[in-house]
Chains A and B, each alone.
Chain A
Amino acid sequence: MHIPDGFIPLWQAVIYYIIALIVGFYSIRWARTSLDERKVPLLAVLAAGIFAIQAMNIPIPWGTSGHMVGAALVAIIIGSPFAGFLVLTTVLIIQALFFGDGGVTALGINIFNMAIISSWVGFYGFKWLKPVINEVPAVFVAAWASLFLAAIACAIELSLAGTFPLTLGLYFMGLYHAVIGVVGEGLITTIAFLAIKGVRPDLIYREEVGSHG
């Protein structure tokens, strides 16, 4: 879902850059008040793993492929969408500058979709679903939704840019990413969550009972 240069008019690209900077400012504030030193290596390992897995496209029908975003996994494990933002933004910057994956002018919009929308959908989706459908199904559904809704947002943005027609854009982006979301995001996120929980349950964020948040 990495948007290349040229798909978004520059004046619109600037708007997404500004939104990314504002959320970046609040993410730095979150880290300064809430990012525990013991979580820093975890953050770095998640970033490295997500970069690697994003290079592995999984085939889906219709001669198409797709890969995990990973923002939901980070937000759920660390316990904040701001952590998802910081990790995905790091990955997206390296992809755009070193690998030509996602345009440099489109970095703001790619951060908007994959670091902001995916992180917040993944985190709050998990938080709201967990009491209703239990922890592991909540991880799966929240991860699926984090990819699907980012793709829907992408289709709307590309239609605002005049690059895709709205209805067909929603149809194809929605269809492909609904499928990519099942294996590419939902299943891999669930496996990674269970693997981390199996070896280091202490690393997984737990909401304190009776406390804020």
Chain B
Amino acid sequence: MDKFVVGGLVVAILIAIMAPYLASSDPDGLESAAEKIINPEVSDEAVLESPMPDYVIPSLGEDPISGVVAIIIGVLVVFGLAYGLGYVLKKKET
């Protein structure tokens, strides 16, 4: 793997380490709008229970470390999946 890929992954993991400490916990634009104007009959209950809801590992609690671990797992899974997808779908050499 070339230096660019390693460098890019290091940047992604550094962001993952900082995110739980630096990220704003305020509602995002959509949630903020929903708080003010949502039709009160609408509920937002999740259909499927996810293993790491809100970017934390449930067994590690709501700690920032738990967030760091969850986001690093996500970074690696996304990297692997995108790499695999790109590899399978790439242009066939002629």
Q: Which residues of A are at the interface with B, using a C-beta cutoff of 8 A? A: 1-7, 28, 31-37, 39-53, 55-60, 62-67, 86-87, 90-91, 93-101, 103-105, 151, 154-155, 162-165, 168-169, 172-173, 176-177, 180, 199-200, 203
Contacts and interface: CB of A to CB of B under 8 A. Distances in A.
A112 B90 CA distance: 23
A124 to B, nearest CB: 23
B54 A45 contact: no
Nearest to B84: A44
A96 B80 CA distance: 17
B42 A163 contact: yes
A32 B15 contact: no
A165 B2 CA distance: 50
B77 A94 contact: yes
Given A56-B15, A56-B18, A173-B30, A28 B89 contact: yes
B15 A40 contact: no
Given A41-B4, A57-B28, A154-B30, A48 B12 contact: yes
Contacts of B8: 45-46, 48-49
A88 B11 CA distance: 18
B12 A49 contact: yes
Given A55-B55, A99-B55, A164-B39, A44 B86 contact: yes
Contact of B78 (A7, A94, A96): A94
A36 B81 CA distance: 17
Given A41-B5, A65-B24, A173-B33, A55 B42 contact: no
B60 interface: no
